[in-house]
Amino acid sequence: MKIKRILKISLGIIIFFTLPSLLLFGFVYLKYNEDLPIGVQGQAADNLVIKMLDALDHDAYKATDYIEFTFKKRHHYKWYKSENICEIYWKNIKVNLDLNNHDKSQVFIDNTIYNNTDAHGYIRKAEHFFNNDTFWLVAPYKVFDDGVNRSIVKTKDNNDALLVTYTSGGTTPGDSYLWHLDENGKPTSFQMWVDILPIKGLEASWEDWTTTKTGAILPTFHKLLVLGLEIDNIKTRTAAFETIEVKCITEQTEKPSRQSKELTSNTKTTCSFGNFVSIATANNNSQENDNLEYQLYRKVDDTLIAIKNSEMFNSNIKQIEQRINEETKAHYNYLKTIPSTQPCLNDFTLEYYSIDDMGITFDDSKNITFHINYSLSNACKSVKGSIHTSKLKDFEYYFHKKDLIVK
């Protein structure tokens, strides 16, 4: 009898807690569940997309290189959009997520790098967070991505709605969304046909839009039934070259020589470009042919950290090396045709210079200069090496964009 009584009580408790949930689910299902509508693809659908993107200032979004935000007060993001990398924070975990190559991603726990065998699990989790949370922030801007089908659907109110289906990419390819727009084309909500939700056609609002510092227009709140999805702490920045200044300071210093009591005069030129700093120091008293020193630094907070030249550029660095070496060879061949400089080069063999063998400086005309020292004897003062100056804009493709965003 005791067993039967226990079973009855247990069953009663289960029914007490599950029946209201089942009834609520049934009510919501009957009220909101809809079949996926059939849309019409073609230019009219793309025109509706263009109207939506114009309403959100798509050009400003494209020019935005950095987006920082917090999703539901749980996940924090520092997204270097043009670099396709993102720093993702939750609890005591940080993942530097490389979306191009997961093998380059890093995991930190309590600010200490974590290399255990399960580190890749944290990377996969970070990617899942990224795909979900950034979608709620920038989904309208992605409707022209590869693998996206677009079509127009007529609503019950005879308005045009935009049906978007993702055939590839993300965490759950195959999901569909029906965008409802206001008269200007700005999204007000979308309905979802997604694998993760058992009820098809549920509607979530897109509201409380904010115009960010770069002009990109982003939502800060979504309402899904009784749930609220809050997005806050939004910050955006651009690394557009035309907005980045180069500031230079030249100083004259004197200090005692190591070899004698005489004062040594130095000229030090410091130029900052984004978070990079070049320092060129010239020993004005030196009779040596290599009296110039060059060093690059990266600004981290208020500290200058010396870096190799190669750390300033991305994986396309070999293209820079080849270009500078080709120009150096052309200059070298020219010097060999001049009677006054040709003797200095008789016993000199031109080598291939890596980017770290060069000196690099900026100037306030927004130029970058690559200095190559031939290290010839002092008898050849007229031939110090090869100098190559170009506009920084010409090298935009090669920089790490995140280092150009001054925070």
**Would 397 be classed as within a structural domain?**
yes
- Residues 123-169: tens digit of each pLDDT: 999 999 999 999 999 999 999 999 999 999 999 889 999 999 998 76
Domain that holds residue 357: 242-404
Q: Mark whether 174 and 60 lie in a shared domain.
A: yes
The per-residue pLDDT for 163 is: 96
Res. 6: pLDDT tops 90? no
Q: What is the mean pLDDT of the chain?
A: 86
| Residue 240 burial by Cβ neighbours in a 10 Å radius (0-12, 13-18, 19+) | middle
Domains: count for the chain: 2
Q: Mark whether 299 and 341 lie in a shared domain.
A: yes
**Domain end point (choices 173, 208, 237):** 237
Q: Mark whether 302 and 204 lie in a shared domain.
A: no
For residues 65 and 58, give the distance between their C-alpha atoms in angstroms, rounded to a whole number. 13
Q: Mark whether 203 and 78 lie in a shared domain.
A: yes
Res. 31: pLDDT tops 80? no
Q: Mark whether 175 and 273 lie in a shared domain.
A: no
Res. 240: pLDDT tops 80? no
Q: Mark whether 141 and 222 lie in a shared domain.
A: yes
**Domain end point (choices 237, 254, 284):** 237
Backbone φ and ψ for 310, nearest 5 degrees, come out as -65, -20
Q: Mark whether 246 and 176 lie in a shared domain.
A: no
- Residues 326-366: tens digit of each pLDDT: 999 999 999 989 988 888 888 888 999 999 999 999 999 99
**Would 153 be classed as within a structural domain?**
yes
**Would 375 be classed as within a structural domain?**
yes
The mean pLDDT of 385-392, rounded to a whole number, is: 91
Name residue, tokens 């609520």.
24
**Domain end point (choices 205, 237, 269):** 237
The per-residue pLDDT for 16 is: 53
**Would 15 be classed as within a structural domain?**
no
For residues 102 and 315, give the distance between their C-alpha atoms in angstroms, rounded to a whole number. 15
Q: Confirm if 402 and 85 have CB atoms less than 8 A apart.
A: yes
The per-residue pLDDT for 11 is: 55
**Would 9 be classed as within a structural domain?**
no
Q: Mark whether 283 and 161 lie in a shared domain.
A: no
Res. 83: pLDDT tops 90? no
- Pairwise pLDDT comparison (25 vs 113), residue with the higher score: 113
End-to-end CA distance of the chain: 72
The mean pLDDT of 197-214, rounded to a whole number, is: 92
Q: Mark whether 273 and 366 lie in a shared domain.
A: yes
Token readout for 209 is: 């839009």
CATH number at residue 182: 2.50.20
